[in-house]
């Protein structure tokens, strides 16, 4: 009988020892940190793997005395815990031993274990929070892209609708020219002829702009053909002359003669130059009218043509330079942050490169295209 009793005790002791060893091994290897505290928030148990999250050893945590030294004050409402017995998903920002800020998710539960009355389970969710923040940004960008796609459809529809009355305007201007030709010498005929000339010229220009918008709205591959960059610069300056006069900006072209051609899509590359020139003019609202100057330069590089657009505006801060060409990044109050991102995608599709330099005053944007 005695042997049987001793054997039972020995078996129970072995099972208890194995169970405790299993618990210790489990606590050492889980990623969560577990604590027990008494009614005064003093530690009664600290898990052996506490350093995985907090960087402290168990003895260092015990020396802190209270859980508030680790997780901060007012972590939960005592009355709520007493009423429900458990409070889950308490999010808390804490500073670990290295000083790094981490986001901890805490579950608390009422217990009665070896003098401990509250069980804390802490999980590090810092990386998860970062991923959620990134996903939130991506969602916002996708929503923005969807709106822009709708705008693109509207632009295609509007350009189609505008083209018809524009054709009628040009036809009427031509008819006016013909009538004036039959009544030459009449009062004000010269003034009327100049008016019809202006209407025709502006109508043709508006038709070209609409044509480009429709081309951009359609998803078509690049049409690479030999392109004279100096000629493209002249065309671009002609398109923005009116806007430059309104803004009191002086446009200058310093073009190296005799440049070899590049293989490029004319419409797309003109879009790039237009974007850069318009950005340059918008950056010069602050300087006095006489100091507003945009300079387009071309020069021959090593197997490449380099085009630069410089302005005398407020410039670009060094902190913004690395992000200038990111989608949706903008320093303008009402900007979409797509112009430079689209410009970069177009230039890179031509096997070229685009970048910006920030000077003491103003900024310079460079486009490098390989020669044909």
The answer to whether residue 19 is domain-embedded is no
The answer to whether residue 109 is domain-embedded is yes
Residue 45: name the closest of 76, 29, 67, 78 by CA. 67
What pLDDT does residue 218 have?
Answer: 59
237 shares its domain with 294: yes
| 309 close to 276: Cβ distance less than 8 angstroms | yes
Record the tokens describing residue 105, joined without a space: 């998710």
121-130, 189-198, 359-368: which is most confident: 121-130
Compute the average pLDDT of residues 291-312: 91
Domain count, the chain: 3
255 shares its domain with 176: no
In tens, the pLDDT along 206-225 reads 777 676 666 655 555 677 89
The answer to whether residue 13 is domain-embedded is no
With tokens 């103003």, the residue in question is 362
The answer to whether residue 175 is domain-embedded is yes
Residue 17 CA, distance from chain mean position = 57
Task: Find the CATH number of the domain harbouring 44.
Answer: 3.30.450.20
In angstroms, the CA 59 to CA 302 distance is 66
- For residue 279, pLDDT over 70 is answered with yes
283-287 long-range contacts (CB < 8 A, ≥24 apart) are 283/311, 283/313, 283/314, 283/315, 283/362, 283/363, 284/247, 284/249, 284/311, 284/312, 284/313, 285/247, 285/313, 286/313, 286/314, 287/312, 287/313
Compute the average pLDDT of residues 91-104: 91
Residue 239: name the closest of 291, 268, 277, 280 by CA. 277
43 shares its domain with 174: no
| 52 close to 46: Cβ distance less than 8 angstroms | no
The answer to whether residue 2 is domain-embedded is no
* pLDDT band at residue 184 under the 50/70/90 scheme: low
The answer to whether residue 21 is domain-embedded is no
In angstroms, the CA 312 to CA 332 distance is 17
Task: Single out the residue in 217, 235, 253 at which a domain terminates.
Answer: 217
Task: Find the CATH number of the domain harbouring 270.
Answer: 3.30.565.10
210 shares its domain with 231: no
113 shares its domain with 136: no
146 shares its domain with 163: yes
β-strand pairing of 101-113 with 43-46? unpaired
336 shares its domain with 270: yes
In angstroms, the CA 66 to CA 99 distance is 19
258 shares its domain with 185: no
| 313 close to 363: Cβ distance less than 8 angstroms | yes
Tell me how far CA of residue 3 lies from CA of 10, 17, 350, in angstroms: 10, 21, 91
Task: Single out the residue in 182, 217, 252 at which a domain terminates.
Answer: 217
Q: Which domain holds residue 341?
A: 225-370
The answer to whether residue 58 is domain-embedded is yes
Record the tokens describing residue 83, joined without a space: 């009423």
- For residue 46, pLDDT over 80 is answered with yes
Select the more confidently predicted residue: 343 or 2.
343
The answer to whether residue 5 is domain-embedded is no
39 shares its domain with 144: no
Between the CA atoms of 337, 339, 344 and 347, what dihedral angle is there, to the nearest 10 degrees? 170
202 shares its domain with 139: yes
Task: Single out the residue in 187, 217, 247 at which a domain terminates.
Answer: 217
241 shares its domain with 361: yes
260 shares its domain with 201: no
Q: Which of 96-110, 112-126, 128-142, 248-262 has the lowest mean pLDDT?
A: 128-142
The pTM for the full model equals 0.46
């Amino acid at each position: 009988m005695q042997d049987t009793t001793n054997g039972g005790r020995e078996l129970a002791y072995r099972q208890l020892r194995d169970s405790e060893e299993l618990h210790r091994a489990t606590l050492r290897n889980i990623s969560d940190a577990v604590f027990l505290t008494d009614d005064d928030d003093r530690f009664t148990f600290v898990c052996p793997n506490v350093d995985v999250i907090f960087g402290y050893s168990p003895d260092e945590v015990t020396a802190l005395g209270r859980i508030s030294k680790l997780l901060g004050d007012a972590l939960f409402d005592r009355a709520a815990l007493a009423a429900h017995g458990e409070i889950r998903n308490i999010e808390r920002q804490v500073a670990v031993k290295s000083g790094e800020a981490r986001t901890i998710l805490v579950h608390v539960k009422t217990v009665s274990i070896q003098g401990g009355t509250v069980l804390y389970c802490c999980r590090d969710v810092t990386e998860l929070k970062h991923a959620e923040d990134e996903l939130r940004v991506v969602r916002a960008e996708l929503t923005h892209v969807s709106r822009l796609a709708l705008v693109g459809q509207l632009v295609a529809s509007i350009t189609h609708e505008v083209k018809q009355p524009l054709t009628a305007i040009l036809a009427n201007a031509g008819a006016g020219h013909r009538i004036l030709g039959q009544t030459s010498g009449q009062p004000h005929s010269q003034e009327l002829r100049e008016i019809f000339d202006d209407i025709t010229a502006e109508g043709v220009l508006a038709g070209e702009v609409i044509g480009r918008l429709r081309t951009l709205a359609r998803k078509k591959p690049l049409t690479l053909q030999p392109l004279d960059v100096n000629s493209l610069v002249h065309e671009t300056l002609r398109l923005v002359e009116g806007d430059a006069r309104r803004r009191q900006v002086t446009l200058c072209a310093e073009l190296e003669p005799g440049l070899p051609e590049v293989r490029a899509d004319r419409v797309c590359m003109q879009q790039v130059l237009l974007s850069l020139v318009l950005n340059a003019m918008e950056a010069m609202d602050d300087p006095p009218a006489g100091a507003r100057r945009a300079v387009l330069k071309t020069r021959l590089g090593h197997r490449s043509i380099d085009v630069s657009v410089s302005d005398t505006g407020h410039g670009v801060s060094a902190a913004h330079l690395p992000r200038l060409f990111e989608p949706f990044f903008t320093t303008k109050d009402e900007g979409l942050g797509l112009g430079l991102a689209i410009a970069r995608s177009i230039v890179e599709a031509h096997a070229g490169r685009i970048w910006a330099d920030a000077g003491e005053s103003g900024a310079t944007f460079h486009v490098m295209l390989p020669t044909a």
